[in-house]
Structure 1
Amino acid sequence: MDIFKVLVADDDQNVRDIIRLYFEEQKIELVEATNGVEALEIVEQESPDIILLDVMMPKMDGYETCREIRKKYDIPIIMLTAKGDEIDRILGLELGSDDYVTKPFSPRELVARIKAIFRRMQPRQVNPEEIDKDAYEFEGLKININRREVIVNGEKVDFRPKEFDLLAFMAASPGNVFTRERLLEGVWGYDFIGDNRTVDVHVKKVRAKLANLSINCIHTVWGVGYKFEVETK
């Protein structure tokens, strides 16, 4: 698919105009919303490929809008924020956003991030020699690669795509220590523009889902990164 649809939700007309003009040059279809409520309606009606959410919007802010979208959809979300504090960026990631851009931003950088996300959405042609097996099995835990399923003690656990990719990537090499940079490269790709905290947020989510079922498998190696070893409680 050469042309894809992006929803931008921002109450600032100037921001939407700048994005629209640059997107037209890049042959990107744009749909617009001025607040979170409108954004939710457009998601239902238009099925955009990627969503840009401003944090500070009337009626429903970007954080709440992101939370509502994540209840039903797995569409990639980029948060647009005038806030530069790390806590604001991390909050967006924890609510389910895939990336963030701080205002004022370069339209060229924004398009680069969108295209990077879009490339990662495409099916990857895998060399059969790269696949050791169809599933990784440990005590109480099975990760089915072909079905993209995680089974814990016989119960299926829902994981978002990047959460699954992170777990499967690490499970392929139990005991190996991965730096955050290596995980970004292996799971998000060479062209990912975000920072290392993206890894930390996704590790936190994976741990929480498995801990609820008494599985502890991603361990912090202080000063280095993380490793995969299954421990049952």
Structure 2
Amino acid sequence: MKNQIVLENILKISSNLSANLVILDLSYKNLKSIFKEITDDKSYLQISKSIIKKSYQLTVDTGICCVVATDEKDPKRNVLNPLGTKVIQDIHPWYLSDEIIWNKTPKDLALNKDREKPSVIDFEELPFSQIWILSKQKVIPSRSERLDNTRLSKQKEIEIVDSVWFIQPKSQLGYKDPLPSELLARLILSYSKPNDLAFDPFAGHCVTALVCKFLNRNFLCFTNNKDNLMIGNRRLKKEKLNGYT
């Protein structure tokens, strides 16, 4: 139960937090690497839903929770097992306000009409994640209305407002598909304002914190390795944030 205790301590430390934005990477493989208690789909769903519900207590009334979750391929049956979708079901009292498809395939390849379509999607070849935007309010302004475009080029603004984001992750030490700085920048600009507080309880290489600093947001992030901030700094310099001023 070691990792459950870690989670409880994080939430206890953050109990008086009033975040404007919570970012949760709840993809199956990522969460399983953190919580050794996850041995099957049922335990994954239980922990994921617990995290989402706890996050509700840590956000302001106008707060947003961005959940990144991936449907996994069942190798035995060769079909999609929609774990991500199940996570979002019955998550009262959050409202599902928006959905974004994070396509990890290069855009020119993904849009190649001559490419033969496989009968079954191979997530190793054509991976994507679903990003659910959860709100305490039943109705919120659209992404285009909320977007802080003062730091964006016009082309970047068009890409962010789209419902599909083509961003290719690069594997890092200990993380197969880490959340790229580009993805985090889009979420932060779409669902927070300057000086707002963003919270990431599973921050990995602390890229959320670094992007928040770049975009003039406050942040609270947790990581399990003191060297991760240094790794995150190197990542940010290598990935770059093109189209942002």
Q: Same fold (TM over 0.5)?
A: no
Give the number of the structure with larger relative contact order, counting CA–CA contacts within 8 Å between residues 6 or more apart. Answer: 2
With the length of structure 2 as denominator, give the TM-score of the two structures. 0.27
